[in-house]
Amino acid sequence: MNELGAFIEELRQALPDGRLLADAGSTWAYGMDNSRVHHAPGVVVFPESHEEVAEVVRLAHDHGVPVTTRGRGTGTAGGAVPVLGGVVLVTDRMTRVLDFRPEDRLIVVEAGLINAELQRIVGEHGFFWPPDPTSNALCTVGGNLGCNAAGPHAVKYGTSRENVLGLRAVDGRGRTVKAGSQTTKGVVGQDLTRLLIGCEGTLAVITEATLKLTPLPETRRLLRAFYPDMHAASAAVSRVMAQPATPAAIEFIDGNALDLLRRNSSVDIPASAGAMLMIEVDGDESGIEATVERVVSAARSADTDIAVAQTAAEQQRLWAARKALSPTLRQVAPKKINEDVVVPVSRIPRLIEALDDIARRHAITIVSFGHAGNGNIHVNLLVDPDDPAQMAGAEQALDEVFDTVLRLDGTLSGEHGIGLVKRGFVAREIPPDSLDLMRGIKAVFDPTGILNPHKKLPDHPDRVLQD
């Protein structure tokens, strides 16, 4: 019997019935996420507690079996794809609320809890957890922590890292890791919490999280502003971010995306509009109008069309263009390439200009939108993966996109993670000595390299990926 077979037999003995799948027909679906990559696992396990996770990882360590952690598979970077087979550890049965203390503004949950369900639970008590990615109806808290997910409200409330107090996790030997505390202040030991958040399961399997909650604002207002071009819109973003009232969100859609909406949706967009901003302002009812006035004043410039929604119904109408974009993109290019890069806010126009040039030279449509308040841009290449010539052009275009982002002092990923598909580009951003330090940290947490192998960091130059 090989090591995988022996591992599966020990799993059967260690876990209750119904915790694993080992036949190829059942495990096949767990070899993919929302990327285009697929590798079949040898076995899939469904632990229901921290202790069961620890036992799975301990046995995997003893048998040298790779472990890939998976929530609901909504990631786009191949982070949940088991490139070396082995075991896929699925956390979606770990959905318990272990502690909830509104008086301390915290909740302790298991990693498999869905983001939207978490928001419902804490919302009933007047709180929210700020990370709100687009996939929040499906994605898990553990997945959010794995790639440091954020969403539109990160501009005011921060990413996952800023909204977690502590973690419980399992390292590559099956040992329990305690990180952080249940207090907002504390400097005892090293900051393992922030280290594990964003590690994409390469250092440890996060099983439980103590989340820092924020009171729901009393009221919200939404501004929709059309500008003649991205230069004018970006200048407005800089002005808005320079005044004291930080918006809850600033979303933008570029001219190419607006053209796409004009051709493929019923949304009414002025012919003169070359860019659009959606700016959300929240706060106390007593001061919201003064805040809106300051933000509108900062956002206004020549040839600007600004509308302010007061009621929920008006806000829904203003959101129509932004909400119509994703289904329109799926209709036009169901297999588009979607990357999320980040540049300093002041350099967004230079990035958009470069993207237009890259698209023109490679005959590829590139549509951009995203979180303008922190420069997080979702770059969408509308290509047909079944067209070899188009994909060859897209590969070269994407290479140029990443080089452009780095020249603008940006970073290759804001919240989607590196996973498998971006790891080949990481060495362009991180110098060799820093990469060696990161590999050293990986070796401490996971000495045999079983945790999500060939993800997040590029292999050392003298190593070759073994499929």
Rounded to a whole number of angstroms, the CA Rg of the chain reads: 23
Are both 197 and 119 inside the same structural domain? yes
> CA torsion sign, 383 to 387 to 391 to 393?
negative
Q: Which of 90, 123, 143 delimits the end of a domain? A: 90
Question: Which helix H or strand E contains 175, and what residues bound it?
Answer: none
Contacts of 307 (CB under 8 A, 6+ apart): 223, 224, 225, 318
Per-residue model confidence (pLDDT) at position 462: 66
**Cβ proximity of 232 and 183 under 8 Å:** no
Digit-coded pLDDT (tens) for 315-352? 888 888 787 887 788 788 878 888 999 999 989 989 99
pTM check: above 0.85: yes
Q: Are 187 and 293 in a shared domain?
A: no
Domain count, the chain: 3
pLDDT for 246 equals 92
Q: In this structure, are 9 and 79 located in the same domain? A: yes
**What is 232-281 written as a DSSP string?**
HHHHHHHHHHHSSS--SEEEEEEHHHHHHHHHHS-----TT-SEEEEEEE
Residue 458 placed within a domain: no
Residue 438 within any structural domain of the chain: no
Average pLDDT rounded to a whole number, residues 381-385? 87
14 in any annotated domain:
yes
Whether residue 427 is contained in a domain is answered as no
| Residue 88 phi, psi dihedral angles, 5° rounding | -100, 120
Mean pLDDT of 125-137: 94
Helix (H, G, I), strand (E, B) or coil at 429: helix
> To which residue do tokens 């709100």 refer?
132
> What range defines the domain where residue 355 resides?
219-407
What does the pLDDT read at residue 386? Answer: 83
Asked whether residue 389 is domain-assigned, the answer is: yes
* Residue 381 and residue 283 in one domain: yes
| Same domain for 368 and 227 | yes
Residue 467 has pLDDT above 90, yes or no: no
Q: How far apart are CA 105 and CA 88, in angstroms?
A: 34
Would you state the pLDDT for residue 443? 97
| CATH number assigned to the domain comprising residue 64 | 3.30.43.10
Does 198 lie in the same domain as 228? no
Least confident of 123-137, 155-169, 190-204, 381-395: 381-395
Pair (183, 236) in one structural domain? no
Confidence of residue 35 (pLDDT cuts 50, 70, 90): confident
Residue 22 has pLDDT above 60, yes or no: yes
Q: How far apart are CA 165 and CA 176, in angstroms?
A: 17
pLDDT of residue 465 exceeding 80, the answer is no
Are 353 and 227 in the same domain?
yes
Residue-wise pLDDT for 167-177, tens only, equals 999 999 999 99
Distance CA 299, CA 297 (A): 6
Give domain status of residue 346, yes or no.
Answer: yes
Residue at a domain's end among 190, 215, 240: 215
In this structure, the answer to whether residues 207 and 344 fall within a common structural domain is no
Residue 233 pLDDT: 93
pLDDT, averaged across the chain: 93
- Cα(19)–Cα(17) distance, rounded to whole angstroms? 6
Tell whether 293 is covered by a domain.
yes
Q: Where a domain ends, among 166, 185, 215?
A: 215
Judge if 296 and 232 occupy the same domain.
yes
Q: What is the CATH number of the domain that holds 298?
A: 3.40.462.10
384 and 243 co-located in one domain: yes
User: Are 166 and 248 contained in the same domain?
Assistant: no
Q: Are 302 and 258 in contact (CB under 8 A)?
A: no
Highest mean pLDDT pick, 46-55, 379-388, 409-418: 46-55
Residue 461 lies in a domain: no
Among candidate residues 383, 434, 385, 426, the one with its CA nearest the CA of residue 406: 426
pLDDT digits (tens, 9 = 90+) for 241-292: 999 999 999 999 999 999 988 988 888 899 999 999 999 999 999 999 999 9
